[in-house]
Amino acid sequence: MNRSYPPFVAVFLLAAGLVAGAQEKSALDKGNGTVPIPNQKKALSSVVESTFVYKTAIGNPLNAYVYRLPGDTVQPVLVHFHPGALIMGKARFEMGGKAMGYKPELLNSGYTIVSVEYRLAPAAKLAEIVEDVRDAWKWLHENGARLFHADLARVGVMGTSAGGYLALMTGYCVTPRPKMILSISGYGDIVGDWYTKPDPFYCQKPMVRREQAFRPNAGTEFYHDCRQNGLWPKEVSGHDPATQPRWFDAWCPRRNVTKDYPPTMLVHAGKDDDVPCERSVLMDKELTAKGVEHQFASRPDGGHGVLLFAGPPGNKIGEQIVAFVQKHLKR
């Protein structure tokens, strides 16, 4: 990029004590599982991180990590879904790390970011993962104003790679719909040759043995096996696109775009060797056909996800993202 964002201090201090007892009691009284976890931390840069349980699934808590400037100012919200092929990845930010990308600019501009955990495949299947997305959305709208001064009239969604896919899903699977969607290196379709056939890029890597791929918490090895054998849609969804092609209609954002789809920004690199840029090109065409307000920011070089923001001078994608959010959440 042609400039560096202001440094984002990465040091956190443990806050003393629990979140106010009255707040916890109120959450419990509502019976919605919203229990603040006693690990609230405060960044020296003045950005505050708070952790909440938004639901419990099969005995396991799922967290929403809330990042915002301190104080009581009501702020618009960006819900964030992390990358990782729906198989791996973490919702909690590593403050100051490269993966922060454009996020410090958004935080310092007065936006609250809510980064959501969701269950991961193959233990959870796609329908359960999207169920978590819906539940997190419901939790935010029922509790966000009270817990962290969220402006629920101004809520957008963003995500990278698989997180971009989930962000695009919110365009039609949650109510109310988000005011805007940002998909970085994402995809609006989860079938097609790129996912259902062996991928040339991943086939260049050492082949993964099946026993490695299916051991508990295999993560990267499981994903590589899926890509080397064209099994990702089947393993993640529990359905076979070869024999059940119509089942996937409901889970492909590109097939569910209408004129009411939210304003959307697609960001993709031409040399993305994980998710082909063609996936955003196809989504762009569908948004155009349905008359949906949108923007497609692309560049011929760059890589997948955060690598898209690195590179030569003149890469202003981060600035374009901030401008798009400003436009639709009206800060």
Q: What is the mean pLDDT of the chain?
A: 85
Q: How confident is the model at residue 97 (pLDDT cuts 50, 70, 90)?
A: low
3-state secondary structure at position 183: strand
The string of pLDDT tens digits covering residues 110-130 is 999 999 999 999 999 999 999
What's the confidence (pLDDT) of residue 16?
30
When pLDDT is averaged across residues 320-328 and rounded to a whole number, the result is 94
Extents of the domains making up the chain: 22-186+252-329, 190-248
**82 vs 299: CA distance, rounded Å:** 22
3-state secondary structure at position 58: coil
Tell me which of 54-68, 88-102, 162-176, 256-270 is least confident: 88-102
Beta bridge partners of 155: 77
**252 vs 189: CA distance, rounded Å:** 5
Question: Does the pLDDT of residue 20 top 50, yes or no?
Answer: no
Options 3.40.50.1820, 1.20.1260.10, 3.30.110.30, 3.10.580.10; CATH for 22-186+252-329 is: 3.40.50.1820
Name 56's Cβ contacts closer than 8 Å, sequence gap at least 6: 33, 62
